[in-house]
A and B are shown apart, each in its own frame.
Chain A
Amino acid sequence: MNRVTIPIGPQHPLLKEPLSFLVTLEGERVVDSTLRLGYVHRGIERLCQERTYVQNLHLLERVCGICSHVHTTAYCQGVEALLGIDVPPRGLYLRTLLCELERVHSHLLWLGVLAENIGFQTIFMYAWRDREIALDIMEELSGGRVTHACNVIGGVRIDVEDDQFYSIVSRLYKLEQRVEKFLDLIQHERTFRARTQGIGCLSAQDIQRYCVVGPVARASGVNVDLRRDAAYAAYDRLHVNVALRQEGDVWARTLVRTQETIESLRMAHQLLIGLPEGPTSVRVPRRVPAGEVVSRAEAPRGELVYYIRADGGDRPARVKIRTPTLTALITLHDQLQGVETADISVVLSGVDLCIACADR
């Protein structure tokens, strides 16, 4: 049979961000695929070396348009470790609260994108409507919907007032009930299952070989979650339930992410209830003593790694960022092998692509 190679991207209705896939088809089946990144490469790692530690906060928040807060969390955590300072508990709780709200909005956004790609407009509309609840709360707390500028080196710059507390808790509860409905729908809706079950399978061995992280790994039965395993920020004071599935297909990833959303809402509730009194940040010196540090945090898509090297000045000598999407992209070749053309969109959505993150 004749082989046909079609480009998907850099600009394509299927993709929300630019990346380029060359997919080779034999009839309706995919037999090969090549990936090319770099369409939103901004050279952020290099730019970080030319800016001060404080200026970098604003830059790093813009690595990603979805998980902006976790980037500054990992960065601040690293710089604070180099400085040898402890963030006050209230600051850590608020930082963690934003991390969890961000996970909620990222997972609901993703659920909407997946639903739209399989033609299930109802879930798309509902997921994005309900995501607004999380965005509203974050906007009230920080002033920004997706770029919160909430972290500073030494803590956070936001605080929760008493009158905000009840309003936020009641909205979190409302959102949790809605996400429970999504979970029920995903488990039992026949159309949804038909489009996602058995698609894009990755075994636990594949996950290990490709060093994949986050919900994609957890959907293949690999029990990793840095919130529990590294217990950074305020996670050591929380009970983290890790959502786990064994199937390894797109359906399992959907379930893992939806269960995680519910877990995150519960954790956000726990964090608000247990919010300690006291200051939210401490003052830090501008210069950071020489040293190096590897800082890890669990972004909505999995393990986020920052390597920071300080040489004693007010600018870092090197900042290396490894985002979780990069680990998932490498598996796409295997996942696409042999799938029908109509399922390409499901496979691509299944790993939750964030190309701005991957490109930096």
Chain B
Amino acid sequence: MNIDRILEVLREWCALGQLDTRRAPLNEVFVSLPSACLRVAVQLLSERFGVHHLSTITGQDVDGRIELLYHFWDGQGLTLRLVLPRERPQVETLIDLIPGAAYYEREIGEMLGVRFAGHEDMQPLFLPDDWDGAPPLRRDFAGRDAQQEGT
């Protein structure tokens, strides 16, 4: 993976001016992108640089907003960071570009309440069918007591 060239191209296509990049230990680079640029960036990575392997997507509720981290790997790690609002977070799906992203998106959908526009099958994958609580990985989710669980 030619990381400098990738960052240069991402800067050209996805950022007005400076691209927020950070190098982390264990050979990983974090790049912040506007959420509208996600699909362009993924297409560039795959078509121009042959980076196809999406390791996973991490979702987290941090500092009053939802962050999505798309971890790519091709001999070294590259993570694209998207920041979404906490109220009604939404981002475009990747499943037509990377079918392997389907389960990761479904998991983030149920655990953090993020909507992936264009992803039709967002049924729960891990949580019970009758789950009526808040998305459990949100900071304000306080857990459910035993009575609610029916145990």
Q: How large is the interface on B (under 10, 10 to 19, 20 to 34, 35 or more residues)?
A: 35 or more
B56–A320 CB distance below 8 A: yes
B72 and chain A: residue at smallest CB distance: A211
* Chain B positions 50 through 76: 1 when the CB is less than 8 Å from some CB of chain A, otherwise 0: 001111101110100000010101010
**B98 at interface, CB cutoff 8 A:** yes
Q: Are A294 and B28 in contact (CB under 8 A)?
A: yes
Residues A38 and B56 in contact, CB atoms below 8 Å apart: no
Any chain B CB within 8 A of the CB of A136?
no
Tell me how many residue pairs across A and B have CB atoms closer than 8 Å: 91
* Distance in angstroms between the alpha carbons of A229 and B54 in the assembled complex: 16
Interface 1/0 per residue, B8-46 and A, CB below 8 Å: 000000000000000011111010000000000000000
From B30, B56, B98, residue with most partner A Cβ within 10 Å: B56
Is there a chain A Cβ closer than 8 Å to B136's Cβ?
yes
With A229-B75, A294-B26 known as contacts, the answer to whether A309 contacts B62 (CB < 8 A) is yes
Bound-state CA distance A37–B59 (Å) is 19
Question: Are A329 and B24 in contact (CB-based, < 8 A)?
Answer: no
Q: Assuming the A-B contacts A38-B124, A38-B125, A210-B100, are A81 and B56 also in contact, with contact meaning beta carbons closer than 8 angstroms in the complex?
A: no
A58 within 8 Å of B (CB atoms):
no
Interface of B (DSSP majority class): mixed
What are the interface flags for A218-231 relative to B under an 8 Å C-beta threshold, 1 for contact and 0 otherwise? Answer: 00000010000110
Docked CA distance A224–B75 (Å): 9
Given the interface pairs A307-B58, A309-B62, the reply to whether A211 lies near B53 with Cβ below 8 Å is yes
- Evaluate contact between B55 and A292: CB separation under 8 angstroms: no
CB distance A292 to B53 under 8 Å?
no
**Which of A211, A303, A329 touches B98 (beta carbons < 8 Å)?**
A211
Min C-beta distance of B146 to chain A, whole Å: 15
Interface string of B79-103 (1 = CB under 8 A from A): 1000000000000000000111111
Partner of A43, one of B25, B79, B102, B136: B136
How long is the Cα–Cα vector from A318 to B69 in the complex, in angstroms? 12
Give 1 or 0 for each of B98-118: 1 = CB within 8 Å of chain A CB: 111111100000000000000
Report B's interface with A, CB cutoff 8 A. Answer: 24-28, 30, 52-56, 58-60, 62, 69, 71, 73, 75, 77, 79, 98-104, 124-128, 136-137
- Interface residues of chain A, those whose CB is within 8 Å of chain B, are 36-38, 41, 43, 45-46, 77-78, 81-82, 84, 208-212, 224, 229-230, 232, 291-296, 303, 305, 307, 309, 317-318, 320, 322, 326-327, 329-330, 359
